[in-house]
Amino acid sequence: MTCDIILCGVGGQGGLSVSVVIARAAMAVGFQVKQSEIHGMSQRGGEVLAHLRISDREIFSPTIPKGKADIIFAFEPLEALRHLSWLSVERGTIVTATTPILNIPNYPDLDSVLSEIRKIPRARLIDADALAKEAGNTRSANLVLVGAAADLLPVPPQAIEKEIAVLFSRKGEAVVKANLRAFELGRNIQHA
């Protein structure tokens, strides 16, 4: 079993934190894990891309070949389209937030961007910002997306919840609860 995941977004959206949560949860239940991160600008607005590979056998490369990703987590819809070439046509699923980060002056029409994503056979478009707000922390949209793809991950949800609690414990109980709630709200989304 191998699960190859691309996580893409812009700085400040928590893509790398999510990668750490999933990786730690996978290792805790006995999987092999390799990660590779590409940071754009270190401030909000620059590209952030992470490769995460999970397997029950040795992994030889931390990067995923184009066309081989099982899951793409896109924390911003234009980034979903920008990294689409990594998605496996046969089995890949894209899980994307629908709220744009307008970090460029010529951001395309959002309806057109979302329409292109909807053409992908296995696309899950999530209003992650609204669910994060409902969870009590607008910065938890990243974990809403992870919850929305929990059925695709080889890691039990309880292992992910444990790592969420560990990673965010230094920020206080309210942040931990909001992040766990965001993950839960994502898991409760019904997929067509």
CATH number (domain holding residue 130): 3.40.920.10
Residue 154 lies in a domain: yes
Q: Which two tokens stand for residue 41?
A: 């600008």
- The total number of structural domains in the chain stands at 1
Looking at residue 62, its amino acid is P
Q: For residue 43, is pLDDT > 70?
A: no
Of 40, 88, 41, 92, the residue nearest 50 (C-alpha): 40
pLDDT surpassing 60 at residue 162: yes
H helix or E strand, kind and range, residue 53: strand 47-55
Q: Which tens digits make up the pLDDT trace of 88-127? A: 999 999 999 999 988 888 999 999 999 999 999 999 999 9
Average pLDDT over every residue of 44-57: 86
Could you read off the pLDDT of 120-149 as tens digits, one per residue?
999 999 999 999 999 999 999 999 999 999
Classify residue 192: in a domain, yes or no: no
155 within some domain:
yes
Q: For 10-24, how does the pLDDT look when each residue is reduced to its tens digit (9 = 90+)?
A: 876 777 889 999 999
